[in-house]
Amino acid sequence: MEKPVIVTVDDDPGVSRAVARDLRRRYGQQYRIVRAETAADGIGAVKEMRLRGDDVAAILADYRMPQMNGVQFLEAAMDLYPYARRVLLTAYADTDAAIQAINVVDLDHYLLKPWDPPEEKFYPVIDNQLDAWMRTDRVERTELRVVGDRWSAQSYRVRDFLSRNHVPYQWMLAEDPEGAQLVKAAGEGCHLPLVVMPDGVTLESPDQATLATAVGLSTTPATDFYDLIVVGGGPAGLGAAVYGASEGLKTVLVEAYSSGGQAGQSSRIENYLGFPDGVSGQQLADRARRQALKFGAELLTARKVVSLEPRGQARVVGFKDGGEIAAHAVILATGVTYRRLQAPGLDDFVGRGVFYGAAMTEAPSCQDSEVYIVGAANSAGQAAVHLSQYASKVHLLVRGEGLEKSMSHYLIEQLTALPNVEVHAQTQVVAGSGDDHLQELTLATKGEERTVPAQWLFVFIGAEPYTSWLDDTVERDARGFILTGPDLVQSGQRPRNWPLRREPYYLETNVPGVLAAGDVRAESIKRVASAVGEGAMAVSLVHRYLEKQ
């Protein structure tokens, strides 16, 4: 069997030879090293390898090359080898330009030149990339196909579920020739959306649980008792699952929809530690999910938790569709959802022009259209930057006087630099209308109303915690956020099962063995980094709790 290939492209002959030399010295026995001194030669070599069926493990490209820079080269190469790890070589002077350009390609790392000594600055990076490539499932599958109507809410839900759970699929309209053929083959009375599996099995308008099972997501717990149950798969829940499993706890994470939570809908997070070139919410969630699985955590998808009950030393979690599991401890990390806009007509068009969150699947369909975004925090700003790549005009509607109080400075600067983004201060959506999809919005600016044609509205306002299912078991504040630690004491409410021996620790709820982490916790800092940190901290408190049992 042929060795997998590492490709390096640099127009500086001296640097090109040095890269190839260092690669051969360390990896020559396991990999074939192919170098090119022009982007054109590099693309030609990659195309030839693709035709021969060679496997490319990593591609290293210099940023500053004539005709085609390194980012453009990697973008072209990823169409041929989507699983190859992509590394950009850049001089210190080009770092800012490279980082700004990296948004167009899913870069795995950028490496500053020179990297002497390679044992410290070069080989550890390449080791990590090759290790990640080896652990990637690179078996090419025939994509499943989804056939539906353009303005169908159910079609949107199916596509969004597949996309956010990293299941590749091909989307086609029912009136297109190929789509019409599939619908006809499914038989009379076919209910859209139609999902056609790679093996030919069809699902008509499937519910979430059926779809999850069909595409191979884990929905059934392996056992009925664990050390730790994590409820919620956002950054806090994934952080708890990674640290719980890595520290030897038998851990299961239960997620009702998809890993990543609200942060998973972000098109680009640029202020998360360790990702100077930014990372999408889906990419961050996928890496965390794979990391949790690597340490042995069990991840259940499309299972909604509806009850929590202490039974002696056990904490029992019940599912909406029946069944339950138990554990010594539970971490509640259910996060928050975007609040609905209270404007007449909008509820009729959810999934049909009105979307809560980034709705990444819809971005390409916004090509050359005007898009409206409601919100003034980072999530709205990130969506505006992303959608500006497709839409002819992005209107950012802000209820307040500006963005400075709620949005990070770096995002405000990016929005200011985009010619097709306009911020409308003191503006609200007061109504929406249309036939089978959203067609018009009524906006109010300082009390003056106007109606505009609009097919796309993305909403990023407020936060509502998913905690109503907890009933009276866990103490919450007036808005539904879970009270923990000092906040419990300050609330003046001493629950009947309060551990009288001491005051609670930072993330502990009123129920011993039940902790809360991330956005669902009252007074938490609503940031991805703090949520991950709280998930990890909660695991340390679980250990402390278990030691006392």
Into which CATH architecture does domain 225-336+465-547 fall? Answer: 3-Layer(bba) Sandwich (3.50)
Compute the Cα dihedral for 409, 411, 412, 418 and give only its sign.
Answer: positive
Q: Per the CATH hierarchy, to which homologous superfamily does domain 5-135 belong?
A: Response regulator (3.40.50.2300)
Reported as a single tens digit per residue, the pLDDT across 372-404 is 999 999 989 999 999 999 999 999 999 999 999
What is the predicted pLDDT for the residue at 496? 47
**Cβ contact 27:4 at 8 Å:** no
Model confidence, pTM? 0.74
Contact 84, 62 (CB under 8 A): no
Architecture of domain 145-206: 3-Layer(aba) Sandwich (3.40)
Cα–Cα distance measured from residue 361 to residue 304, given in angstroms and rounded to the nearest whole number? 23
CA of residue 3 relative to chain centroid, distance = 33
pLDDT in tens, 313-334: 999 999 999 999 999 999 999 9
pLDDT of the residue at 210: 93
Average pLDDT value over all residues in the chain: 88
Low-confidence stretches of the chain (pLDDT < 70) are 1, 51, 92-105, 138-142, 264, 267, 489-504
Amino acid at 22: D
The domains spanning 5-135 and 225-336+465-547 adopt the same CATH topology: no
For 346-461, the fitting CATH number among 3.50.50.60, 3.40.190.10, 3.30.465.10, 3.40.50.450 is 3.50.50.60
Domain ranges across the chain: 5-135, 145-206, 225-336+465-547, 346-461
Helices 70-80 and 39-52 pack at an angle, to 10 degrees, of 10
Spacing of C-alpha 334 from chain mean position: 15
Q: What is the pLDDT of residue 67?
A: 79
